Amino acid sequence: PICLNGHLDIEVNGETKRIGITRIHMEEDAGKLVHSGNTISDSKSSNIDYNRTGVPLLEIVSEQDIRSGAEARAYVEKLRSILQYLEVSDGRMEEGSLRGDCNVSVRLRGTTEFGTRTETKNVNSLTAIQKVVEYEALRQAKLIEAGGKVDQETRTWDDAQGITLGMRKKDEENDYRYFPEPDLVPIVITDEKIEEVRRALPELQDAKIERFVSEYGLSREDATILTVSRKTADFLDATVKAGADPKTVANWMLGDLSKMINESGLTFAESKVSPENLAGMIALIDKGTISGKIAKKVIVSMWESGKDADTIVKEEGLVQITDTGAIEEIVKQVIANNPQPVADFKSGNGKAIGFLVGQVMKESKGRANPGMVNELLKKFLND
């Protein structure tokens, strides 16, 4: 092992729990069995895929501290985030970049000795990891309560059926018949090298969350979402650095921009709206050049054209109308054309003004300053 006796703090149901890490060692990947049929149980043949054979991998072994499927999921999710932040792995479980082997055992309440464990190999999603732990624990408990015995074996997860299936008897460690590889020389990692690596580490998710909450004033929930990916967090930082208000940036990233990115199957690192362009659009809102409603059109145009907000606003004539006289004319026209909502408002139905505001915005093609529209409507309706 090149690493020993570490730990990882996870949060489940609002409580923090420390999961020990026994060791991290290097291996080479092995072949993969590919079964025909919809499930392993009805498989008529098995083939071996050697594509990944010999590819180096890190195996990270946890202590026996995990007590539920939810904790197992949170542990792997946290681990994946760190590996992604460090750019050790892209963490794409469905592609095999990260996989989980779930060792599960149960014991009678009140006893301290661990029961016989099974190992479910190569689980390739966070959801499946949680399901494997929950299913396997329940399967073993039912088996013991029925008078049976848990066999130490290697199992596999059948996602279609939502069950684990036995593959082969699990050997004890001394049955593997390990022998030294004479061509591998000892690796010496000095304390100086460890410190050099430690100093080069990037800011990890937990630290970013704390900074986004304390410096940017974001809620912990928003900060957590925006730091799941390092690239997403970097996008927010870059937009703020370009002069935009952090909370406003977060709102756009969690709203309209996130929607376009998800629909396109991209990431924030691949966003067609750059941090600088997003900051430029927010600046136009702050200056009153465009309204928030117009900005929703502008950001779509930015995404489609790659142009900056200032250029789009000028080319499409989207500058917000702030001229009192121009807005007054539209307001008077809307009041004249909608006698019933006007009567409703004067009868005490305050919500009716919302309809009238909408009509003014429609007539102005969204360009009228909303604050001025509200003021003028109230002024004329209360006369």
pLDDT of 323 strictly over 60: no
pLDDT of 79 strictly over 80: yes
Q: Can you say how many angstroms the Cα of residue 123 is from the centroid of all Cα atoms in its chain? A: 19
Tokens of 31: 């072949």
pLDDT of 277 strictly over 90: yes
Q: What does the alpha-carbon distance between residue 159 and residue 131 come to, in Å, rounded to a whole number?
A: 9
Q: What is the pTM of this model?
A: 0.74
Q: Between these two residues, 299 and 345, which has the higher pLDDT value?
A: 299
Find, among 104, 153, 160, the residue nearest to 130 by Cα: 104
**What rounded mean pLDDT belongs to the chain?**
88
Per-position DSSP letters for 275-320, written without gaps between them? HHHHHHHHHHHHHTSS-HHHHHHHHHHHHHH---HHHHHHHTT-PP
Q: Which segment, 92-101, 167-176, 344-353, is predicted with the most confidence on average?
A: 92-101
Residue owning tokens 């939810």:
70
pLDDT of 327 strictly over 90: no
Query: Residue 320: what pLDDT?
Result: 62
Query: Residue 94: what pLDDT?
Result: 87
When pLDDT is averaged across residues 274-281 and rounded to a whole number, the result is 96
Query: Residue 246: what pLDDT?
Result: 97
- pLDDT digit string, tens, across residues 14-57: 899 999 999 999 888 877 777 766 555 566 788 888 988 888 88
- pLDDT digit string, tens, across residues 360-376: 777 777 777 777 777 77
Q: What does the alpha-carbon distance between residue 132 and residue 159 come to, in Å, rounded to a whole number?
A: 9
When pLDDT is averaged across residues 191-197 and rounded to a whole number, the result is 95
Domains of the chain: 3-175 (no CATH), 203-315 (no CATH), 324-381 (1.10.10.410)
- What percent of the chain lies above the pLDDT cut of 70? 93
